Amino acid sequence: MRRLKLDRQRQTVRWLNFENRVQSVPDSPERGFELALYYAVTHDQARGREAVQWALAHRCEKRQVALVLDWCGPLATTDERAKLAKSDCAHAGMGGTAFILSMRDKLFLQIAAGEDVDDPESPQWKGLVALLQKGQFRNAQNLYAAVEIINAVRSATRSDLRRMAAQFFETLPTEFLLSMKPSDVEHPSWIAHVAALALVALDPNLPGSQYLQGWSMESVQTLRDGPGVAYEFLWADPYLPGIGYQNLDPWVYDAEGRLFARTDWTPSACWIGISAKGLEETQCPSGWADKINQFGHMTLIPFHGSCVPIPNPKNGEASILWKLQPHQAVVFSSRTGPQFFQADGAGIWRVPGNVGGKICPASRDRTQQNLIK
């Protein structure tokens, strides 16, 4: 809040854009949120009362109603607060995006109404983390709602849901950036831009957050109008450290069996995404998938069913084998005998740094013996 008030005092571009939206777009679908945020920064009671009246007239907008109740509650009468705290609207469906949004809305209203929040170990929070791990973070609306949930749970319970999957969340800022196709990196949707800003604020000290901050704070991305200006005003923090994202090695492989990579950071770069769902690609040359390709400091090697030579890794370089069958076993010879490894569910295997020479498919009998051991 100190930063937001300082933006107003300094009449920054983001404050002016936000103020202009509040003054000129009375029919905004985000009107409750915008008015409540405006009141929180300015203490303009007329705008605060307008926010309360909007919430009373739009009680099914649970997230916005909760924010109005939380931020403008002192301006509402006892009867108005009681009405806002109790919603008779049905919850949205429980699949995919609707599940995460419904979870967020319910949580916000619980907190604003002073109700107890579910224990951090509850199944619903575990389900949220599982959905993100399975790839729902690529939906920017889902990611934004999830960041709001994590922030709210952390504030209400002093517990961090990210502990359930620490490694995943540590690489999430990098993975979110690299999961975007070149055209989306150059011209992101407003919700992707805002989701990035919110994700950075969740943990600015992560190395990936600093690259994501460098990308999301580019001046060409500043939102001038539309519903995103209020969110950008809320989340964009120019005081956080940022690194030019073009310095990020353009590939990431996570424990869920996903690989995102691009040849470079130019708009015309070849981009790929490999997961258990298959291969995505854009702007890649014909026949690339049958060849060895270089993505930054990562060598991507296709496996064609027979032995494949693996180059001796250089310092800081990585080799990844793909086109294996899901969970297929491979073997290589070492001074201590044959060593067995197994691909992930997408048929990807990151070659350990001490492995060189030829990698061959393992016989079924030897594979079973190794897995039993």
Question: pLDDT per residue over 321-356, tens digit each?
Answer: 999 999 999 998 776 778 899 999 999 999 987 777
pLDDT bucket at 367, cuts 50 / 70 / 90: very low
CA nearest 180: which of 258, 272, 100?
272
pLDDT at 370 over 70: no
pLDDT bucket at 136, cuts 50 / 70 / 90: very high
Mean pLDDT to the nearest integer, 219-230? 93
60, exposed or middle or buried, with CB in 10 Å at 0-12, 13-18, 19+? exposed
| φ/ψ (deg, to 5) at 302 | -75, 140
Mean pLDDT to the nearest integer, 196-209? 96
In this prediction, what percent of the chain has a pLDDT beyond 90? 82
Q: Which residue has the higher pLDDT, 83 or 96?
A: 83
pLDDT of residue 264: 97
pLDDT bucket at 93, cuts 50 / 70 / 90: very low
Q: Which residue has the higher pLDDT, 250 or 91?
A: 250
In this prediction, what percent of the chain has a pLDDT beyond 70? 94
pLDDT of residue 251: 98
320: which strand partners? 300, 350
- What is the residue type of 94? M
Give the pLDDT confidence of 162-175 residue by residue, as tens digits: 999 999 999 999 99
pLDDT of residue 369: 45
* Beta sheet of 271-275, edge-to-edge order: 251-254, 258-262, 271-275, 278-282
**Tokens of residue 77, six digits:** 């009468």
pLDDT of residue 90: 62
pLDDT of residue 305: 87
Give CB contacts under 8 A, 24+ apart, made by 128-136.
128/100, 128/103, 128/161, 129/161, 129/162, 129/164, 129/165, 129/168, 131/99, 131/100, 132/165, 132/168, 132/172, 133/165, 133/168, 133/256, 134/256, 135/256, 135/258, 135/275, 136/96, 136/97, 136/100
Least confident of 55-64, 94-103, 246-255, 325-334: 94-103
Give the pLDDT confidence of 250-309 residue by residue, as tens digits: 999 998 899 999 999 999 999 999 999 999 999 999 999 999 999 999 999 999 988 998
How far is it, in rounded angstroms, from Cα 274 to Cα 349? 12
pLDDT at 312 over 90: no
CA nearest 36: which of 233, 226, 194?
233
pLDDT of residue 358: 87
Give domain limits for the chain: 1-90, 116-248, 251-372
* Beta sheet of 337-342, edge-to-edge order: 308-310, 357-361, 329-334, 337-342
DSSP letter for 306, please.
S
Report the Cα 143 to chain-centroid distance in Å.
Answer: 5
pLDDT of residue 97: 62
Mean pLDDT to the nearest integer, 66-95? 84
pLDDT at 96 over 70: no
Residues 6-20: b if buried by 16+ CB within 10 A, e if exposed: ebbeeebbbbebbbe
pLDDT of residue 130: 95
pLDDT of residue 364: 56
pLDDT of residue 244: 95
pLDDT of residue 118: 84
pLDDT of residue 333: 77
Q: Are 158 and 197 in contact (CB under 8 A)?
A: no
